[in-house]
Chains A and B, each alone.
Chain A
């Protein structure tokens, strides 16, 4: 029996997840040793038809990163699903939508209007925007459909496992690969990371007072951040309490609060709503006007609470456009 076949594909993503693989450093050699890559557009020269020519389920595992925002991405996800035994949603965008998912606060028209007409750097006198079909001399050119809504990978195909993070940290990637290779896998649908909140391992936890309370909310650029004190205790919104652990606190160690790229724990359905609930609860005011004053001082609450998870949220997108 040959080495297990592996595919690595990207959808709506930044390329950071591919970088994460490179960040495995020497470990990548172990991976290459153990598996056979059959598809990895960013690194190797395979074509779609190479995938199409494989048998159903022939690929042992496909790692798909990025959210689904175009018809082509959905098509490729479905193709890989058909050809793979396992599909792993790799990284925050495939897992919960990621930052591309913030586009769900607008729609295709708004995006196109900005990108092709209204952005100050544009020069588009002919008002040309991409068309799905364009007739040219040699025939018809096609572009994939650009969706109104960004989806998570599991909203378009069945996903077996999730590797969270923007991007997933190398240790979790290696653990996942080892688990897959050894067949020692948890229950289907699991997120391959600890199922506790980030505070569990956060070094700043010890500085948090037992009775958490917030009287003022500040933004990171407005104050000198104490490099040791709990962000929430400094009035800085930190999604750590509502975010799954396992990232190694890379942001926290760089003195930046958590933005929630690992998504919620398994017990939560809507990360943003649950963070909202926790944050609002510890606002230390009972007077309605005071409560409103503090709440109004939060700039773009939905954008912060769903920094990474809007497509995976209960409402998924802005509903009136």
Chain B
């Protein structure tokens, strides 16, 4: 079968022509089977070059086009669009990279020319086997799901709402703000965190385009860019947020007191509670795990309450007999109802932003720091609560015995930058350690503060200045150590001893009343669950993997799903907000109301007449794009979900799956010709 192939060779200025004999290539290509003509151009990607290509293709009317130029990564799209201008199906075209793969890497001109010839021969053969592929378009939904209402998620939600998008903001806690809601002040300017955050939180609560869904988690995601359907499980909190005014009258009479996880168990809360004063939305949550009505007397909860002296014997008898209604009785607005069940909300959306934040590495894994054993050893987040006015000590720097510490040691890099634990630098610890030092100095004047660091990581505006300003403080002692940390914390009778070897090998025995650890920032617990559900990849360190380290920092491997904030990797508030904004921008440009969505054409396709239904392919698809048609007993590829990776095609043992644009025939032809 004769097919008219047109070959265009780009000299790329001198980039290609200097190291490859173009005349020889032209002669060689002209003699290849099916080649109708060969033309060369000084710079095919220039305006002149593209105009030439479009008009020449329109005039010559080739059936296939081969462009011999640079990497398809750079200009395949350019040339496809140019060919489209000439009403030429862009998939009947093959690009040959003789710049990066030949001219720039093969020093000998004669060898480079021969190599280029082999590539051209392969492309010419391959292109004759190409099929015209037609783009398909589908309608799409432009609503957005944002998972996580920390700084990144809030920023994304607000920007999207401002652009008129409907946003469903799902937060697992009963309040918004994320970890930052726990902070008192933020580095480097020691700004009040709640003053900074509250206006934003307020906007979130009142924006008509945002549906805030708290105490909830996403439990199912189906579909694809432009057409996702999600299920969100909302925990029954038993408090009607429309009726509740947040007066707090309900906590007082609640007989159950448990440790408050918001304060990392450093304070107590009631079964019906608000995690901290000022939490937004200001609606209490009834914790069914601890409420007597739900936990029931046989769980031993009431017995325990009695044993702890939290209730009197009389109350105990009472609770045993009847279900507690203390909070309901206290509520003047009938906002509390006990028969609420967890509910599943269903929403249809077009794209998803995941901003689920981080957690801290558990320092008790490294026994030398004494965390979990020695009461006065805290993690950074616990210390944030101690410093917070809404925290367990009301913002006073106090130890568990109620005394102010006279000395305090802050240890950096706990679990970070360490091959045994987390190899990466957690990026914010140096700066928040400095913040701690600054606050400790303020709260406990005269106390000795030891800052045990391994290296300084304080990039960016203002941060170096912040460090320098603290270096001048006379009560703050900086001790430079090596990694891995040779620091050990021991409990003595009255205080803690912290032994540490500095970079000069000198042993520094220090006495400290309190120790604050800066543990590595690790992915939030939900990361792997969401990774599985959303099919987005995580990197080696467990954080969600960005599309490209430099150029696609908030994209994922799944179209229409973006990531922002610390779930992508450790970062400060500013960078999280920037990523939230970036993700919103991505969403706004990928799905535009009224615009249809173009589908990838390079997908797999199952031939229903030849599939034997062996099911080898079904489980291999990372996008769940292959279904088994139980009636016909064959595999069916959903080409909307398929990303064209070809894993199934390679596995199909009877050759019924075709990888469009990468068919066996085309690849075989390429291999054979290159090696001829």
Q: Is A265's CB under 8 angstroms from B610's CB?
A: yes
Q: Tell me, yes or no, whether A221 is within 8 Å of chain B by CB.
A: no
Q: Tell me, yes or no, whether A210 is within 8 Å of chain B by CB.
A: yes
What is the CB-to-nearest-CB distance from A218 to chain B, in angstroms, rounded to a whole number? 19
Complex CA distance for A213 and B615, rounded to whole angstroms: 10
Contact segment of B183-191, B223-231, B650-658: B650-658
Closest to B651 in A: A281
Chain A residues whose CB sits within 8 angstroms of the CB of B620 once the complex forms = 281-282
Which of B633, B650, B654, B668 is in CB contact (< 8 Å) with A264? B654
Q: Is A281's CB under 8 angstroms from B616's CB?
A: yes
User: Dominant SS at the A interface?
Assistant: loop
Closest to B633 in A: A205
**By CB atoms of chain B within 10 A, which of A195, A209, A264, A266 has the most?**
A195
Closest to A280 in B: B651
What is the CB-to-nearest-CB distance from B39 to chain A, in angstroms, rounded to a whole number? 36
Q: Is B650's CB under 8 angstroms from A281's CB?
A: yes
What is the CB-to-nearest-CB distance from A210 to chain B, in angstroms, rounded to a whole number? 5
Digitize B607-623: 1 where CB-to-A-CB distance is under 8 Å, 0 elsewhere: 00011111110111000
Q: Is B654's CB under 8 angstroms from A241's CB?
A: yes
Q: Tell me, yes or no, whether B466 is within 8 Å of chain A by CB.
A: no
Which of A198, A212, A275, A281 is in CB contact (< 8 Å) with B612? A198
Which of A195, A209, A210, A241 is in CB contact (< 8 Å) with B653? A241
Q: Is B652's CB under 8 angstroms from A278's CB?
A: yes
Complex CA distance for A278 and B653, rounded to whole angstroms: 6
Q: Is A267's CB under 8 angstroms from B654's CB?
A: yes
Q: Tell me, yes or no, whether B662 is within 8 Å of chain A by CB.
A: no
What is the CB-to-nearest-CB distance from A198 to chain B, in angstroms, rounded to a whole number? 7
Interface size class of B (residues with CB under 8 A): 20 to 34
**By CB atoms of chain A within 10 A, which of B620, B628, B654, B655 has the most?**
B654
Q: Is B655's CB under 8 angstroms from A241's CB?
A: no
Complex CA distance for A220 and B618, rounded to whole angstroms: 26
Which of B613, B651, B668 is in CB contact (< 8 Å) with A278? B651
Q: Is B618's CB under 8 angstroms from A210's CB?
A: yes
Q: Tell me, yes or no, whether B647 is within 8 Å of chain A by CB.
A: yes
Closest to B654 in A: A197
Q: Is B655's CB under 8 angstroms from A274's CB?
A: yes
Chain A residues whose CB sits within 8 angstroms of the CB of B654 once the complex forms = 196-197, 241-242, 264-265, 267-268, 274
Q: Tell me, yes or no, whether A269 is within 8 Å of chain B by CB.
A: yes
Q: Tell me, yes or no, whether A211 is within 8 Å of chain B by CB.
A: yes
What is the CB-to-nearest-CB distance from A93 to chain B, in angstroms, rounded to a whole number? 22
**By CB atoms of chain B within 10 A, which of A197, A209, A269, A277 has the most?**
A197
What is the CB-to-nearest-CB distance from B616 to chain A, in angstroms, rounded to a whole number? 5
Closest to B619 in A: A211
Which of A200, A264, A268, A277 is in CB contact (< 8 Å) with B613? A200
Decide: A197 near B653, CB < 8 A? Known: A208-B615, A210-B619, A212-B619: yes
Near B by CB (< 8 A), chain A positions 190-216 give 195-200, 205, 208-213
Chain A residues whose CB sits within 8 angstroms of the CB of B651 once the complex forms = 277-278, 281-282
Closest to A268 in B: B655
Q: Is B615's CB under 8 angstroms from A212's CB?
A: yes
Which of B612, B618, B650 is in CB contact (< 8 Å) with A277? B650
Q: Count of A residues near B, CB < 8 Å? A: 29
Q: Tell me, yes or no, whether A245 is within 8 Å of chain B by CB.
A: yes
Complex CA distance for A269 and B628, rounded to whole angstroms: 26
Which of A213, A241, A267 is in CB contact (< 8 Å) with B610? A267
Decide: A197 near B619, CB < 8 A? Known: A210-B628, A269-B668: no
Decide: A212 near B611, CB < 8 A? Known: A264-B654, A277-B653, A278-B653: no
Complex CA distance for A209 and B668, rounded to whole angstroms: 33
Digitize B591-634: 1 where CB-to-A-CB distance is under 8 Å, 0 elsewhere: 00000000000000000001111111011100000001000010
What is the CB-to-nearest-CB distance from B466 to chain A, in angstroms, rounded to a whole number? 44
Closest to B616 in A: A278
Q: Is A282's CB under 8 angstroms from B612's CB?
A: no
What is the CB-to-nearest-CB distance from B667 to chain A, in angstroms, rounded to a whole number? 11
Chain A residues whose CB sits within 8 angstroms of the CB of B664 once the complex forms = 267, 269
**By CB atoms of chain A within 10 A, which of B615, B647, B653 has the most?**
B653
Complex CA distance for A213 and B619, rounded to whole angstroms: 8
Complex CA distance for A269 and B671, rounded to whole angstroms: 14
What is the CB-to-nearest-CB distance from B286 to chain A, in angstroms, rounded to a whole number? 41
What is the CB-to-nearest-CB distance from A274 to chain B, in angstroms, rounded to a whole number? 5
Chain A residues whose CB sits within 8 angstroms of the CB of B653 once the complex forms = 197, 241-242, 268, 274-275, 277-278
Complex CA distance for A210 and B614, rounded to whole angstroms: 9
Chain A residues whose CB sits within 8 angstroms of the CB of B647 once the complex forms = 281
Q: Tell me, yes or no, whether A240 is within 8 Å of chain B by CB.
A: yes
Q: Is B655's CB under 8 angstroms from A267's CB?
A: yes
Chain B residues whose CB sits within 8 angstroms of the CB of A266 once the complex forms = 655
Complex CA distance for A197 and B613, rounded to whole angstroms: 8
Chain A residues whose CB sits within 8 angstroms of the CB of B655 once the complex forms = 264-268, 274
Complex CA distance for A208 and B614, rounded to whole angstroms: 8
Chain B residues whose CB sits within 8 angstroms of the CB of A198 once the complex forms = 612
What is the CB-to-nearest-CB distance from B38 to chain A, in angstroms, rounded to a whole number? 32
Digitize A126-157: 1 where CB-to-B-CB distance is under 8 Å, 0 elsewhere: 00000000000000000000000000000000
Which of B613, B650, B668 is in CB contact (< 8 Å) with A199? B613
Closest to B607 in A: A267
Q: Is B616's CB under 8 angstroms from A205's CB?
A: no
**By CB atoms of chain B within 10 A, which of A209, A245, A275, A281 has the most?**
A281
Chain A residues whose CB sits within 8 angstroms of the CB of B652 once the complex forms = 274, 278
What is the CB-to-nearest-CB distance from B621 to chain A, in angstroms, rounded to a whole number? 10
What is the CB-to-nearest-CB distance from B368 to chain A, in angstroms, rounded to a whole number? 31
Complex CA distance for A209 and B614, rounded to whole angstroms: 10
* Residue ranges of B at the interface with A (Cβ–Cβ < 8 Å): 610-616, 618-620, 628, 633, 647, 650-656, 664, 668
5 CB-based A-B contacts, threshold 8 Å: A211-B618, A211-B619, A240-B614, A268-B655, A277-B653
**New A-B contacts (18) at CB < 8 Å, excluding given A197-B612, A199-B613, A267-B656:** A196-B610, A197-B614, A197-B653, A197-B654, A200-B612, A200-B613, A210-B619, A241-B614, A265-B610, A266-B655, A267-B654, A274-B655, A277-B653, A278-B616, A278-B651, A278-B653, A282-B616, A282-B619
* Residue ranges of A at the interface with B (Cβ–Cβ < 8 Å): 195-200, 205, 208-213, 240-242, 245, 264-269, 274-275, 277-278, 281-282
The 4 residue pairs across chains A and B that have the minimum distance between CB atoms: A267-B655, A211-B619, A197-B612, A200-B612
